[in-house]
């Protein structure tokens, strides 16, 4: 009879069998994924699934789409943003707090907005227990426009939207990057937008995935004539 895999073996398999094959090859990112205890951020009912290639439900199920994104999506997004130690980050959709923890180890400061007060409080406490001191979790609706003016080097939407929120682009500093999963099921694409000058934004769409919607962001009209 084979022994039950240890958490470290499951973590190793997650990195080698899910994340590396998804072209996440940055050694610093891989080391970070090996060091941060993903299982600490997973709801207790789903902890046995912490290292599986799947989204995990958050909350009590009363609000649709509240999930922890799959490990490979979080890892690829983190790698492709190229977050630097001096940079400030805004995350929309704290969820479990795991992505905020990853971002915190790469950045100077992270502000993470979560619309669900229960999830916000739980994520803040998990981050505190894991010694992550440079994240502020704020119970707020990320779809509400921010004060005008460039404020962040990096903006991450930890969920999907129908289109890039234009107000968030104005919150990027020159040289700043925004990452979002954009489109409709069954096909969405990761968008990475760089503010190259005060008035110019460049976009690349390097990979496909699907993710649940972030709440309250605009949806295009479904009517046709």
Which CATH code fits 7-209?
A: 3.40.50.150
Residue range 15-36, pLDDT digits in tens: 999 999 999 999 999 999 999 9
Q: Which value, to the nearest 10 degrees, does the dihedral of the CA atoms of residues 73, 79, 84, 89 take?
A: -20
Q: What is the dihedral of CA 112, 116, 121, 122, to 10 degrees?
A: -100
Task: Find the range with the poorest average confidence among 108-112, 188-192, 200-204, 215-219.
Answer: 215-219
The pTM is what? 0.94
- DSSP β-ladder status, 172-184 and 187-197: antiparallel
- Separation of alpha carbons 202 and 200, rounded Å: 7
Q: Is the separation of the CB atoms in 93 and 142 below 8 Å?
A: yes
Whether the upstream peptide bond of residue 80 has omega within 30° of 0, thus cis, is no
Q: Mean of the per-residue pLDDT values for the chain?
A: 94
Burial of 127 (0-12, 13-18, 19+ CB in 10 A): buried
Lowest mean pLDDT among 1-5, 26-30, 34-38, 75-79: 1-5
Tell me if residue 174 falls in helix, strand or coil.
strand
How confident is the model over 83-130, as pLDDT tens digits? Answer: 999 999 999 999 999 999 999 999 999 999 999 999 999 999 999 999
């Amino acid at each position: 009879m084979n022994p039950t895999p240890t958490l470290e073996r499951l973590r190793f398999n997650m990195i080698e069998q899910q994340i590396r094959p998804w072209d996440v090859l940055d050694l610093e990112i891989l080391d970070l994924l090996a060091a941060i205890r993903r299982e600490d951020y997973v709801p207790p009912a789903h902890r046995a699934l912490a290292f599986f290639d799947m989204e995990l439900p958050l909350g009590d199920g009363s609000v649709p789409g509240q999930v922890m994104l799959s490990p490979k999506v979080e890892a690829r997004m983190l790698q492709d943003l190229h977050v630097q130690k001096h940079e400030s980050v805004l995350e929309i959709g704290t969820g479990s707090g795991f992505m905020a923890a990853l971002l915190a180890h790469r950045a100077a400061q992270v502000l993470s907005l979560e619309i669900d007060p229960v999830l916000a409080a739980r994520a803040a406490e998990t981050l505190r227990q894991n010694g992550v001191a440079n994240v502020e979790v704020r119970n707020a609706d990320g779809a509400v426009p921010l004060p005008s003016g460039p404020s962040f080097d990096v903006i991450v939407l930890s969920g999907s939207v129908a289109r890039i929120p234009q107000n968030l682009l104005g919150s990027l500093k020159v040289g700043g990057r925004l990452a979002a999963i954009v489109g409709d099921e069954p096909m969405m694409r990761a968008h990475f937008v760089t503010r190259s000058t005060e008035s110019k934004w460049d976009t690349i769409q390097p990979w496909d995935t699907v993710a649940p919607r972030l709440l309250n962001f605009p949806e295009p009209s479904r009517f046709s004539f």
